[in-house]
Amino acid sequence: MIRVAFYDAKEYDRPSFERFGRLHDMQFHFLETKLNEDTADLAKGCDVVCVFVNDTVNAAVIDKLYALGIRLIALRSAGYNNVDVRAAFGKIHVVHVPAYSPYAVAEHAMALLLTSVRRIHKAYNRTRDFNFALNGLVGFDLHGKTVGVIGTGKIGRIFIDICRGFGMHVIAYDRFPAGDSDIEYVSLNELFARSDIISLHCPLTEETRHLIGTEAIGKMKKGVVIVNTSRGGLIDAEALLQGIKARKVGAACLDVYEEEADIFFEDRSGHILNDDLLSRLISMPNVIVTSHQAFLTEEALSNIAETTVSNILSYFDNDGICDNELCYRCGNIERCKKERKERCF
């Protein structure tokens, strides 16, 4: 029996993990709390720790888990910016779920974009109140507009296909452009200058933190629509707010927010929100916020559970080699997948 401490468990996580766990004699201990230095001890007696995007897996937490005998951290997410992988090297192996439904995220990005540019959120509220007036609901066609996609990996490429289906002109920037594609790659500056809509699909790294800040917004077209379904830290939220107040940014669609960790995923209605910046952004008529829900489809939840369980089994069954293990030395997981013939340590 493999025992897994499952942090930040939500109601919607349980059915799929219980289903796949039962098939493989794996027991999940669902903990509502997030993982951090104060809660790491709750993993005592377990073999594996399973975490999500807002759990804290820094060096101190890793040391605590290591002392408890934990040798595997299974991320049930693609992004791993919340894990200090270097601190984990030599102590705890880390696996993730590289793809569970890139369609879910790309489709959510388009859903947000359409909602925003066709004012669906406003119309929905109006008609519920039997207000059938159209004033203030004028949108614009996506057809013929230029969309700038930053990050052309799994999700970015699907989003590009969706945009092309709408008759949009697509330009893109990627630090590592795909060699085998017909994507029109441009520099970041050119993307900022030419795009009517900018959608972020790159990971959060030291290099990409605040990729969209005051300077970048200054280079953009007036009225630009910014879509972020990737990671909150890609955008300097204060700079975004100023861009909106200056009428430079036409609209923002945000599924993620830099300071979301203690806010998103919970029902905060009835509470006073302490985050003034988020409150101000939400109060803007041209900002739509969803709380990190882009991944949340039945298909994605099932795939996440299936891959996480399989990642855990690989660690225990298959000489410990798992294609989805993060690399602590080179940081290039894709290359490692091809080259790895043995464990990283």
Which spans of this chain sit near ligand NAI (rule: CB under 6 A)? 78-79, 99, 102, 105, 150-156, 173-176, 201-204, 207-208, 229-231, 255-256, 292, 294-295
C-beta of 91 vs 154, nearer to ligand NAI:
154
Contacts of 285 (CB under 8 A, 6+ apart): 122
Taking each helix axis from N to C end, the angle separating 102-117 and 298-317, rounded to the nearest 10 degrees, works out to 150
Q: How far is the CB of 331 from ligand NAI (least distance, A)?
A: 11
Q: How far is the CB of 107 from ligand NAI (least distance, A)?
A: 11
Sign of CA dihedral 29, 31, 34, 35: negative
Which ranges of 54-99 does DSSP label H, i.e. alpha helix? 59-67, 85-88
Q: Which of 96, 108, 231, 325 is catalytic?
A: 231
Q: Which of 96, 119, 258, 260 is catalytic?
A: 260
Q: How far is the CB of 193 from ligand NAI (least distance, A)?
A: 17
C-alpha distances out from residue 57 to 37, 61, 64, Å: 9, 6, 10
> Other C-beta atoms within 10 Å of 110: how many?
20
C-beta of 242 vs 290, nearer to ligand NAI:
290
Q: Which of 96, 108, 292, 325 is catalytic?
A: 292
**Pair 21, 46: CB distance under 8 Å:** no
Sign of CA dihedral 110, 114, 116, 121: negative
C-beta of 337 vs 340, nearer to ligand NAI:
337
Exposed / middle / buried, residue 180 (Cβ in 10 Å: 0-12, 13-18, 19+): exposed
C-beta of 151 vs 250, nearer to ligand NAI:
151
Q: How far is the CB of 128 from ligand NAI (least distance, A)?
A: 27
What value, to the nearest 5°, has the Cα angle with vertex 61 and ends 55 and 65?
Answer: 105
Q: How far is the CB of 146 from ligand NAI (least distance, A)?
A: 18
Give residue 227's Cα distance to chain centre: 12
Active site residue 231: yes
C-beta of 65 vs 204, nearer to ligand NAI:
204
- Phi and psi at 20, nearest 5°, equal -70, -35
C-beta of 174 vs 325, nearer to ligand NAI:
174
Active site residue 292: yes
Contacts of 315 (CB under 8 A, 6+ apart): 48, 71, 72, 93, 95, 322
Point out the residue whose Cβ comes nearest to ligand NAI.
Answer: 153
Q: How far is the CB of 11 from ligand NAI (least distance, A)?
A: 17
* Two tokens, residue 308: 């996480």
Return the active site residues: 231, 260, 292
